[in-house]
Amino acid sequence: MDEEYDVIVLGTGLKECILSGLLSVDGLKVLHMDRNDYYGGESTSLNLIQLWKRFRGSDKPPAHLGPSRDYNVDMIPKFMMANGTLVRVLIHTDVTKYLSFKAVDGSYVYNKGKVHKVPATDIEALKSPLMGLFEKRRARKFFIYVQDYDETDPKTHEGLDLTRLSTKELILYAESLARFQGGSPYIYPLYGLGELPQAFARLSAVYGGTYMLNKPECKVEFDEEGKVCGVTSEGETARCKKLVCDPSYLPNRVRKVGKVARAIAFMSHPIPNTNDSHSVQVILPQKQLGRKSDMYLFCCSYTHNVAPKGKFIAFVSTEAETDRPELELKPGIDLLGPVDELFFDTYDRFEPVNEPSLDNCFISTSYDDTTHFESTVMDVLSMYRMITGKDVDLSVDLSAASAAQEY
């Protein structure tokens, strides 16, 4: 460990592992350490025994849930946009060879006390109770527009300015929908998200990155000028020019910006009124709930190999506005139907307050309550730009991942 590295990365959360992989591919000498004896940090996946230990203080989950080893319960569950930034990063780094994906069955929205499918095609748009007659026509026209859209052919733009962010996001959503001809724009890895940090860790190792798990304390060292110069653990110091870490490793250089409340539910059935979908997202808009922030419902099941046959795992999450998650999350939990087991949890969200140009420390922000990865990857790409002074080339051939992702 007594060596000098270009970058030391602390924590094996998804953001840190993506950066470790990208920087190793760039030819930087990277040392990656974690105080835990497992990959994933806050974004790890747990089996049933690990989950019971964490939330119930017991290593004996009830037998009716099935074998512990058949569960991969993601602590920060998020779907990926099929045409989104994370998929582009996966293809750019060739990490797709370590992973298999499956399309998510549906995306729904809560409106006036009922759950409705978000239209995924021009035909669904015409049938949707979410829109009036004129809106249905406009939605159908938009779906057809996106199907015909070609970035290199201005004729297909019909005079729209596609550099505007809101338009870009709509195009991303619609193109992701078209990608797998499924019922939603999302995909999700088989065996859950715990595979993702490990896949980027393998990438880093292939390019010479060094990994050390179960390293206690990990004290960050600074020189007289206040710049990071190394990390000490178990009496040894590894020197470095730059440091990447999650907020827990430098608590005096971050500030609390919010709190996420979430519930984890185990069920033996799909979420009612979602067309028996085995994987689904439901968004409960703030206006429908009389809240300041939206609520998100995420569900996956044995079809993604994250639970035994017949079992479903649902997460309800939102930005906490009170100290009573049980009450706050009730609108989402009420949509689940009968629940076998239910856990409640809250975690604080932090963002960095340091100036990386002065201390060479690049700290990620905490994971938010949304059910997709776009904000997560934007943080990674911004950090990469600050560390290297350049952008990741994301102009990839998206069809390169199709074989792995079509199940």
Nearest to 106 by CA among 137, 128, 73: 128
| pLDDT of amino acid 218 | 93
- Comparing 114 with 2, the larger pLDDT belongs to 114
The helix (H) or strand (E) run that includes residue 95 is: none
What percent of the chain is predicted at pLDDT more than 90?
57
User: Is residue 404 scored above 60 in pLDDT?
Assistant: no
What pLDDT score was predicted for residue 402?
47
Cα 32–Cα 38–Cα 42 angle in degrees, nearest 5: 85
pLDDT of 168? 64
The answer to whether residue 50 scores a pLDDT higher than 80 is yes
SS3 242: strand
Give the pLDDT confidence score for residue 228 in this predicted structure. 97
Phi, psi angles (nearest 5°) of residue 390: -140, 165
Chain-wide mean pLDDT for the chain?
87
| pTM summary value | 0.85
**Positive or negative torsion for Cα 162, 163, 167, 171:** positive
Residue that wins the pLDDT comparison between 5 and 393 = 5
With a CB cutoff of 8 Å and minimum separation 6, the contacts of 99 are 90, 189, 190, 195, 196, 199, 404
> Residue 282 — very low, low, confident or very high, per pLDDT cuts 50/70/90?
very high
- What are the tokens at 72? 């991969």
Model confidence at 23, pLDDT cuts 50, 70, 90, reads very high
Q: Give the mean model confidence (pLDDT) for residues 273-279.
A: 92
Q: Point out the least confidently predicted range of 106-115, 174-183, 257-266, 328-337.
A: 174-183
- Asked if the model's pLDDT at residue 383 lies above 70, the reply is yes
Lowest-confidence segment of 138-147, 270-279, 320-329, 357-366 by average pLDDT:
138-147
The answer to whether residue 249 scores a pLDDT higher than 50 is: yes
Give residue 176's pLDDT. 72
What is the rounded CA–CA span in Å between residue 367 and residue 233?
26
Q: How confident is the model at residue 169 (pLDDT cuts 50, 70, 90)?
A: low
Span 373-398, average pLDDT: 86
Q: How far apart are CA 197 and CA 8, in angstroms?
A: 16
Residues 358/227, Cβ–Cβ less than 8 Å = yes
